[in-house]
Amino acid sequence: MSNLKSADQFKLSFREEAREILVDLEAALLELNENRADDELVGRVFRALHTIKGSGAMFGFEVLAAFTHNLETAFDEVRNGRLQVTPELVDLTLSAMDQIRAMLEEREGAGEPVACAGILARVRSLAGIGSASQSAQTGLGSPPQAAGGPIRQWAIHFAPGPEFLLNGSNPLLLIAELRQLGGLAVKASMDAIPPLDELDPERCYIAWDMVLAGAADRDAIRDVFIFVEDSCELRIEPIAGTEEPRPEPGPASADAVAIAMEEPRTSAGGRRTYDKPDNASSLRVPAARLDQFVDLVGELVTVQARLAELSARRDDPEVAGVAEEIERLTSALRETSMNIRMLPIRSTFEKFRRLVHDLARDLGKDVELTMEGAETELDKTVIDQLGDPLMHLIRNSMDHGIEPPQVRLERGKRANAKIHLSARHSGASVLITVCDDGGGIDAEAVRRRAIEKGLLAVNAQLSEAETFALLFQPGFSTAKQITDVSGRGVGMDVVRQRVESLRGTIEVASKPGLGTSVTLRLPLTMAIIEGLLVSVEDACFVLPMASTLECVELSTRDIEQANGKHVAPIRGEVVPYIRLREHFGLRTPRPELEQIMVVESGEGRFGFVVDRVLGNCQTVIKSLGRYYRHVQAVSGATILGDGRVALILDPDRLVQDAVRVRTRNQAARASPQASPPQPHGAVRQPEGKAVRS
């Protein structure tokens, strides 16, 4: 059975699905805590639990399924109006979710009786469910609960597709699960089974027509098929005249079955309907396969660059035509492959609802989390690595930024504090901001602490941004006491390291008494960028196209008019520039006519003076490796069509680097005792682990 996926793959697939369901469940629970009478939210929680239970049993997570069954029962009681939603029930369910998560990961100790017993005992006590042993025994095969809602009959047509069995799905188990929702009459149709010698033994030719009688709604029925809906034909239609409450939810009558089997499955409008969800056309692809695809596109881009180079040298119109066509297609393919990797940041943001809820409870603070721009899309690699930095920023904000309610009231603030998470695009970057309305950062305390720790000279003059940047130094903390939440000075260092590894920057703004905002500026993509190839002497560099505004000539006359200052008048604005020749320590004389590449950086408009602009190019970013990790102005390297290596410049960091050197040199000239001026002339890392603001 080479086509068959292994059991491990199915478990993996279930885990992925279940993790997503748990994220939704968590969000629904936290919303439910705010709106306790919202039936829709109760239904959402119930369906999530039901799906985890049913599918868990199907994929061999029996303990998880039995455990979840109790929670499902509790929320069924809520659905039926016999149990109230209370903060206790929400907290209990959140704790149970953590257990489920641990069971999913098959962590050591997860699902053990001791770990689960406390939660289950409280759930059962709240919901008035029977004893543990009873629950365990009846957990999965228990008869349908007496339904409180109206009894309806549903005609269900279920026809597995050609790949259904190969995916490891079992129609018998699905039908057994459906039976738990109410009385079920089943008719299997064998009409499509071909002659034995033509029959594909791994394909399911049987289709089922069923009638379900019970309180289950369409969503609950669909949830049974949630993992297979893309590989089967599924129609769920109410049987007319069964909307009214019925006395018994027992097995469907023979008449009803006969009617349901004979009636054509048409909607009210007479059109045949297929009850597929909107996302039925989407496909789940393992991330590793996607990475491999993007790597191959990267290789293709490199080969295309070689072809373009070859075509330019050959001067053959036919070759040039093919090369241009390949370039166009490669560009489109690159764009498409990059888009495939883009994901909305919502799922990462949503995870923090729980963190804020739990921390607020533990710290005795009242904090509301608001979000903006959760649909903003980022490269999957960036999203995957954002969770930790954001978690540390939020924990820090909750612990140190936001004051206890009493203090807030004394300061004339609302007791209810706010943390606002936002994401938005800005050119080739995305800006993620964590903003709170807490007490703000005490810049003087940061300064004092830095001096105490020997990070700063006593007479050092720092801008506000430079002062706040100290917060991200390893081991730096101004917290007077270490708590469970933060204060060890580790978190902010993690934020800095992670953001730097993503080629991002951190900006901190804070107003005493009003709050703090930390903005992470991250690149949109991590793999291939559109770049401008420039040369200085024999060296080639790539500037990201997205941050480049324009290219203008810089003549000797322009330089003379500026009286030796590194500025040029461009469109009525005086734009400072960095001459890469000088910055990188190249000693050869500059040409008569140079080019200024004007970029938009975090410091405003800036120019980079180069010898020549060679043209635009698709650039596959190759890491420079650990040895060059402190070379901040260079974000990677790429291989050109002729085999040469070009460094990819990071305009933001280049500008910051130049500004820092210039400021330091100016300060050195003003104070001869301070460190000697540093020359321009090398891509440098001033202090090994410098912190950028």
Partner 1 sequence: MGIALEGSDAESVVRLDGAIDIASAAELKARLLEALSSGTGVRVSLEGARYLDATAVQLLWAAGRQARRSGVPFQLSGQLPDPLWAALADAGLQLFAIPVNAV
Interface contacts to partner 1, rule CB under 8 A: 1, 4, 160, 165-166, 170-172, 175-176, 179, 184, 186-188, 190, 193-197, 199, 201-202, 204-206, 208
> In 267-410, at which residue ranges do the beta strands (DSSP E only) sit?
342-344, 367-372, 377-379
Q: How far is the CB of 3 from partner 1 (least distance, A)?
A: 9
Q: How far is the CB of 210 from partner 1 (least distance, A)?
A: 8
Check residue 453 and report its DSSP letter: T
Query: 662 — phi, psi (to 5°)?
Result: -65, -45
Q: Which residues pair with 432 in a beta bridge?
A: 423, 520
User: Of 188 and 465, which CB lies nearer to partner 1 in the complex structure?
Assistant: 188
Q: What does each C-alpha distance from 76 to 123, 224, 269 come to in angstroms?
A: 12, 16, 34
| Integer Cα distance of 104 and 475 in angstroms | 35
Q: How far is the CB of 517 from partner 1 (least distance, A)?
A: 57
User: Of 183 and 504, which CB lies nearer to partner 1 in the complex structure?
Assistant: 183
- 391 burial type by CB count under 10 A (0-12 exposed, 13-18 middle, 19+ buried): middle
| Integer Cα distance of 397 and 486 in angstroms | 9
Q: Which residues pair with 370 in a beta bridge?
A: 420
User: Of 159 and 633, which CB lies nearer to partner 1 in the complex structure?
Assistant: 159
| Integer Cα distance of 237 and 267 in angstroms | 8
Q: How far is the CB of 133 from partner 1 (least distance, A)?
A: 22
User: Of 194 and 569, which CB lies nearer to partner 1 in the complex structure?
Assistant: 194
Q: How far is the CB of 209 from partner 1 (least distance, A)?
A: 9
The torsion of the CA quartet 549, 550, 554, 559, rounded to 10 degrees, works out to -30
Do β-strands 573-579 and 567-570 pair in parallel, antiparallel, or remain unpaired? Answer: antiparallel
- Other CB atoms within 10 A of residue 342 CB: 15
| Integer Cα distance of 92 and 119 in angstroms | 7
Query: Which residue from 423, 429, 440, 419 is spatially nearest to 509, judged by alpha carbons?
Result: 440
User: Of 191 and 560, which CB lies nearer to partner 1 in the complex structure?
Assistant: 191
Tokens of 338: 């990059």
Q: How far is the CB of 172 from partner 1 (least distance, A)?
A: 5
User: Of 162 and 277, which CB lies nearer to partner 1 in the complex structure?
Assistant: 162
CB 611 within 8 A of CB 597: no
- 143 burial type by CB count under 10 A (0-12 exposed, 13-18 middle, 19+ buried): exposed
User: Of 187 and 644, which CB lies nearer to partner 1 in the complex structure?
Assistant: 187
Q: How far is the CB of 274 from partner 1 (least distance, A)?
A: 22
Tokens of 416: 């209810």
User: Of 186 and 552, which CB lies nearer to partner 1 in the complex structure?
Assistant: 186
**Residue owning tokens 């903060």:** 87
CB 361 within 8 A of CB 551: no
The radius of gyration of the chain from alpha carbons, rounded to an integer in Å, stands at 32
Q: How far is the CB of 333 from partner 1 (least distance, A)?
A: 37
Do β-strands 645-649 and 634-639 pair in parallel, antiparallel, or remain unpaired? Answer: antiparallel
User: Of 4 and 240, which CB lies nearer to partner 1 in the complex structure?
Assistant: 4
User: Of 173 and 674, which CB lies nearer to partner 1 in the complex structure?
Assistant: 173
| Integer Cα distance of 549 and 572 in angstroms | 15
CB 369 within 8 A of CB 421: yes
User: Of 166 and 259, which CB lies nearer to partner 1 in the complex structure?
Assistant: 166
CB 333 within 8 A of CB 303: no
CB half-sphere exposure, 367, CA atoms < 13 A: 31
User: Of 256 and 617, which CB lies nearer to partner 1 in the complex structure?
Assistant: 256
User: Of 7 and 593, which CB lies nearer to partner 1 in the complex structure?
Assistant: 7
Q: What does each C-alpha distance from 183 to 63, 216, 219 come to in angstroms?
A: 26, 11, 17
| Integer Cα distance of 155 and 211 in angstroms | 5
